[in-house]
Structure 1
Amino acid sequence: MATAVVQEDLVEYGFRRVIITITAVLCALLEIVDTTIVNVALNNMRGSLGASLTDVAWVITAYAIANVIVIPMTSWLSQQFGRRNYFAASIIIFTVASFMCGNADNIWELVAFRFIQGLGGGALLVTAQTIITESYPVEKRGMAQAIYGMGVIVGPTLGPPLGGYLVDHFSWPYIFYINVPIGIIATLLTLSFVRSPKYGEKLKAHQVDWIGIVLLSAFIGSLQYVLEHGQQDDWFNDEWIVRLSVLSVVGLFFFIWRQLSYAYPIVNLKVLKDSNLRVGVVMSFIMGFGLYGSTFIIPIYTQSILGWTATDAGLLLVPSSITVAIMMPFIGKLIQRGVPQTYLVAMGFLSFFIFTYWMHNIMTPDTGEEHMFWPLIVRGLGLGLLFVPITTLSLSGLKGKSIGEGAAFTGMMRQLGGSFGIAIITTFLARFGQEHRVNLIGYLDPTRVAVQEKIHGLQNAFIAKGYSAEIALQKAYKVMELSVTKQSTVLSYMDVFLYLGVLFLFCIPFILLIKKGKNKVNPSEAMH
């Protein structure tokens, strides 16, 4: 009863609620946009800092590792320092690190500040969700999840076009500098308007689970590195990948043992006894797989195969993001009116399958923007139908402090789903591409008349441009080789979209495992 009173005290109305909502969504957007905004700037960073492609990839890896380490600890850290203080400190860390990233003189300095930026940013995601939700009365909390969801789903697709614009018109440090004024405003608004729930007694230094923190960092950090660098380092043929995979498994085993046996765990694993949360965690993982995987694969396809600029590739995803933004409030209202979340999630998975199958069917070396517009709108519909229902369903069987701990699990699994998705998609693109290339070369039999005519026609075209017969023949073979490579790459993209769609289709029966809970969920009683 006392908990309920505390939570009702946190509900805001009028101007205060509007300001708190804007602040929290802004912070969630900052964190997620920074996950993808650097993707289009890596080449510029490599040139100006004199780094190799492998070195510059650490700019993404360091941020992702810091994110997934800090997210599971967010609930515990909020209770230790007070939510408002922890949230404000996280924004400050994120903002200062952003400024230092822009001022970095070498690649490893940039990577170090990027890691610190990730530590500050990871806390913003789940804490922003909590602050928004608790600022709304119980009957409007479905809508609160929808407002937060707009930031989480739209964020990854805003990164590439924004990053492309800043790199094309200014220089790469501005992708970090843009965070500074927003971070300062968000910090001032947080200190002025956000309130903390009353927590129990804080742990003393000797009670803090330092061993648990080290084990969590070893497990998550090693796993994230393996996922980010596996394909480029040839997976388990690389000694470091093998070592870190073993460290990740051992770290996970001892982390679970430590959290279940220690009196003051940093992550309460017992909350996973709830069957709805277990299913919700799996669905959050798959949603992250689809969200970040599709955000990753589409710009690469349009740039490497279709020859688009980074800005154009990023802008392609904007209609999909707008669709999500339009969908979210409607989904929030449907949940408020009692529409079962299981139906909405099933429709979301089905929509995502339609999107991937559609993309599989339209992919060619010459696919135009007009061909991809409607499939991407369907993607937006699918993501809109997934986020809020999955979040509210996951937390529907939890009460009190457990709800905050459950939200941290769904947030972490969504991020890890994205990491797994990108790692698996990258691997499949490479492996399928090699396979298709071998098969296509098999059709290029030099004794076949059609092949001879094609080569002869290309050779004559080069001779007409002034090349000798021998050089013209070499160039003709080169053109044929490039054509085979391009076609095999397109076929590998088609395969990836097909398998991604099948994964989402297979998820629909899992929804039947979810117990029927109350549809009007209070997803924030005593959240972190």
Structure 2
Amino acid sequence: MPTTPLLSKYPEFGRARVYLFGLTAGCVTGVDFVASSMIGIAGAHIQGGVNAAPEEYLWAITVYAAAAVVANLVLGRIGTRITFRRYVLLSLLVFCTGALLCASANNISELVLARAVQGLGGGGLFAAARIIAQLVSEPNERLPIFVGFGLGSFTLTALAPWVSAELALSLGWRAIFLVQALVTVPLFAMVLTLFPRRREAPTTAQMGTLGWPAALAFGFGALLLLHGIEDFRLARIGLSGGETLALIVGAGLLAFALHWLHRHPDPWLDLRRLGSRRYLVGLGFYSLYYLISGGWNYLMPQFLQGGLGFNFQTTGMVLSLAGVVGLVGVMAHTFNFRRVFRRRRVIVIGFAVFAVAAALMSISAMPGASIAVLMPPMMLQSLTTALIMVQVASMTYLDFEPEDFVHAYQLKNIMREIATALGTGMTSQWLQTDRAIARNDLVGRINTFDLQTLAPELPRTSEVLARLSLQIDQQATLIACDHLFITLAGICIAAAGVVLYQRALA
């Protein structure tokens, strides 16, 4: 007796191929996630390898997001013209090239240019993979695809910290980018073999126009504005002339691109199709989640290594263990998707859990905190992926027709890239500023009597003074991390309160 096909549009696909297609699409998405997370997790090693100051290294984070914005802007048009399957294949090749260029970089300028290439390749992979899954299936056929999708994307994300640490310690920082390039090789073969092919050629109207000048203006404008906002420090009284000019130019380029979008009869990103209140509200909370998540993901390695003195290997291990909990939460949600009711309350619970996790980390910000104390809040934060991000993402597209889904997902991933870069960059700069303020304050409190109390039997040798300086640096890092954890907790509590009054998320 013949079995009912899992995909009505592709009845020749057996069960194994459908699940493997979902797994491949998830791994393709994970490539972008891993590239964004590894640059933060292994930031100290990469930054030291190219001899970059923190302000210079910030460009390597920002330029990837700006290039990803351009990729997401044009992927709808390019994917429609050459098929989204070919778009993914081409993007994997570009990403691999960018990763190899990153591995061969000898200074920060070369790294920034290489990251731009990597962002053009990797930035659109999540959206393209998700769009393909949407186009080839009906709503009631997507569970098998989403099982593999979640398993692939979040497994790679969970493994990224541990893999980064092992590679950096064993082979050096360049190996982090080499393994990113290596991952694309089997993925390219899997996409070539498992992704469905398009059955019908697009019409001329569907292909539309590309509008490269406006797309590039949007990307460069986003780059300048993102970097300007990330580099703004609370302790700074004013901006320099160059920074002010960069912000003005960035705003002007964005204004030009948005004007083009508004005036063009068929733009590559049609905002006029995206007026659903449910979508816009969900997009706001989706972006907020990635903003605070980007900050958390940058802050945790700094807290564990610079504050508590954990080595890189231990840091990678505990971050990956926490990521596995997030993977389990996402898979549990996937299998019980239809049983999740009152989603607005689930999102409120998610922000509350994030706030509790940040508050517990703030309490743990003291010398000698053990892994046993740190793991519970880290696992709680990892669960917010299912409680917040997946919940919001699964609700925002209910009001759209299939032809509008591409536009909705393009904007969603543009906001994700921008929010992640903003969260990472702002946390980096604020941590640097707060740490410097705390260190100056601590140094100013130490006198000859304090030195006698801290080390009464030791001579004032350079080794003793270096050890004391290290202790001051660690304490300053803990103080700065404590302030940022409290800030994250406050943002999450405020977000939970706002969600309660958003009926669009019901």
TM-score with structure 1 setting the length: 0.83
Q: Structure 1 residues 53, 221: CA separation in 2 closer, same or farther (over 3 Å shift)? A: closer
Q: In 2, distance between residues paired with 1:382 and 1:34?
A: 21
User: Which whole-Å CA distance do the structure 2 matches of 1:225 and 1:303 have between them?
Assistant: 26
- Whether 1:508 and 2:496 are equivalent positions in the alignment is yes
CA contact (8 A) 1:219 1:250 kept: yes
2:9 corresponds in structure 1 to: 9
Whether the aligned pair in 2 keeps the contact of 1:160 and 1:310 (CA below 8 Å) is no
Give the Å deviation of 1:378. Answer: 0.9
Q: Confirm or deny: 8 A CA contact 1:143 1:329 kept in the other structure.
A: no
> Does 166-175 or 507-516 show the bigger shift?
507-516
CA distance in 1, matches of 2:69, 2:473: 36
Q: How does 1:7-406 map onto structure 2 within 5 Å?
A: 8-9=8-9, 12-39=13-40, 55=56, 57-104=58-105, 107-141=108-142, 144-145=145-146, 147-149=148-150, 155-194=156-195, 195-196=197-198, 198=200, 200-202=202-204, 207-231=209-233, 237-337=239-339, 339-406=341-408
> Does the residue aligned with 2:89 lie in a helix, a strand or coil?
helix
Moved more, 433-442 or 362-371: 433-442
Residues 250, 154 of structure 1: alpha-carbon distance in 2 compared, 3 angstrom cutoff: farther
Partner of 2:431: 429
* Structure 1 position 21, deviation (Å): 1.5
**TM-aligned CA deviation for residue 360 of structure 1:** 1.3
Report how far residue 236 of structure 1 moved.
5.0
Aligned partners of 1:324 and 1:383 also within 8 Å: yes
Supply the distance in 1 between the matched residues of 2:252 and 2:320 (Cα, whole angstroms). Answer: 42
Stretch of structure 1 that moved more, 193-202 or 386-395:
193-202
Deviation at 1:218, TM superposition (A): 2.6
Residues 44, 378 of structure 1: CA spacing in aligned structure 2 closer, same or farther, 3 A cutoff?
A: closer
Distance, in Å, in 2 between the alignment partners of 1:284 and 1:9 is 31
| 2:356 and 2:489 in contact (8 A); partners too | yes
Seen in structure 2, the aligned counterparts of structure 1 residues 118 and 14 have a Cα distance that, compared at 3 Å, is same
Q: What percentage of residue pairs aligned between the two structures are identical?
A: 17
Conserved? CA contact 1:455–1:476, under 8 Å = no
Q: Which runs of 5+ in 1 are unaligned?
A: 1-6, 464-470, 518-528
In the TM superposition, what whole-angstrom CA distance separates every residue of 1:386-445 from its partner, at most 9, and x where no partner exists?
Answer: 222111111122222222221222222222222222233234334444555566678x49
Cα offset for 1:73? 2.9
Q: Distance in 1 between matches of 2:446 and 2:42?
A: 42
CA deviation after TM superposition for structure 1 residue 326, in Å: 0.9
Q: Is the 8 A contact 2:27 2:149 kept in 1?
A: no
Aligned mates of 1:206, 1:74 — CA distance in 2: 12
Supply the distance in 2 between the matched residues of 1:46 and 1:418 (Cα, whole angstroms): 19
Please state how far the C-alpha of 1:156 moved relative to its aligned partner: 4.8
Offset of residue 155 of structure 1:
4.7
Contact 1:36 1:159 in 2 (8 A): yes
Looking at structure 2, the residues matched to 174 and 90 of structure 1 have their Cα atoms a distance apart, in angstroms, of 21
Does the aligned pair in 2 maintain the 1:23–1:189 contact within 8 Å? yes
Moved more, 335-344 or 263-272: 335-344
Deviations 1:130-153 (A, max 9, x none): 233445542253674565355555
Contact 1:28/1:152 (CA < 8 Å) preserved in 2?
A: yes
Residue 167 of structure 1 aligns to which amino acid in structure 2?
A: A
Instruction: Answer whether contact 1:162 1:311 (CA < 8 A) is retained.
Output: no
Kept after mapping to 1: 8 A contact 2:61/2:421: no
Task: Say if 1:425 and 1:251 are closer, same or farther in 2 by CA, change over 3 A.
Answer: same
CA distance in 2, matches of 1:27, 1:185: 11
Tell me, what secondary structure is at the counterpart of 2:381? helix
> For residues 464 and 182 of structure 2, what CA distance do their matches in structure 1 show?
55
Which amino acid is the alignment partner of residue 504 of structure 1? C
User: Could you report, residue by residue, the CA deviation over 1:295-325 in whole angstroms, capped at 9, with x for unpaired residues?
Assistant: 1101011111222222221211122211111
Structure 2 segments unaligned to the other structure (5+ residues): 1-6
Secondary structure of 2:310's match? coil
In 2: Cα distance, 1:387 partner to 1:49 partner: 34
Amino acid at match of 1:183: T
Residue pair 2:308, 2:366 contacting (<8 A) in 1 also: no
Amino acid at match of 1:115: A
Q: How much has 1:162 moved relative to structure 2?
A: 1.2
- Distance in 1 between the 2:411 and 2:181 partners? 29
Distance in 1 (alpha carbons) for counterparts of 2:88 and 2:70 = 16
Query: What amino acid does structure 2 have at the position aligned with 1:457?
Result: T
Q: For 1:91 and 1:120, how far apart are their aligned partners in 2?
A: 6
Question: 1:106–1:493: structure 2 CA closer, same or farther, 3 Å change rule?
Answer: closer
- The one-letter amino acid paired with 1:247 is V
Shift of 1:154: 5.5
Q: Tell me, yes or no, if the aligned pair for 1:231 and 1:423 is still in contact at 8 Å.
A: no
| Aligned equivalent of 1:492 | 480
Note the C-alpha offset of 1:278. 0.9
What's the offset of the Cα at 1:384? Answer: 1.9
The letter for the 1-side match of 2:9 is D
1:525 aligned residue = none
**Does structure 1 retain, via aligned residues, the 8 Å contact 2:351–2:384?**
yes
Separation (CA, whole Å) in 2 of partners of 1:478 and 1:184: 46
Equivalent-residue separation in structure 2 for 1:96 and 1:42 (angstroms): 21
Contact 1:358–1:375 under 8 Å retained in 2: yes
Amino acid at match of 1:513: Q
1:468 paired residue number: none
How far residue 259 of structure 1 moved from its aligned partner, in angstroms, is 0.8
Work out the number of aligned pairs and report it: 497
Q: Distance in 2 between matches of 1:102 and 1:495?
A: 35
Structure 1 residue 368: Cα displacement: 1.5
Q: Is the 8 A contact 1:235 1:241 kept in 2?
A: no
Structure 1 residues 181 and 458, CA, compared in 2 at 3 Å: closer, same or farther? closer
Offset from partner CA, 1:212-264 (integer Å, 9 cap, x none): 21331232222233245445996953333322221222223232222111112
Q: Which has the larger radius of gyration?
A: 1
Tell me whether 150-159 or 229-238 shows the greater mean CA deviation: 229-238
Partners of 2:237 and 2:401 lie apart in 1 by: 42
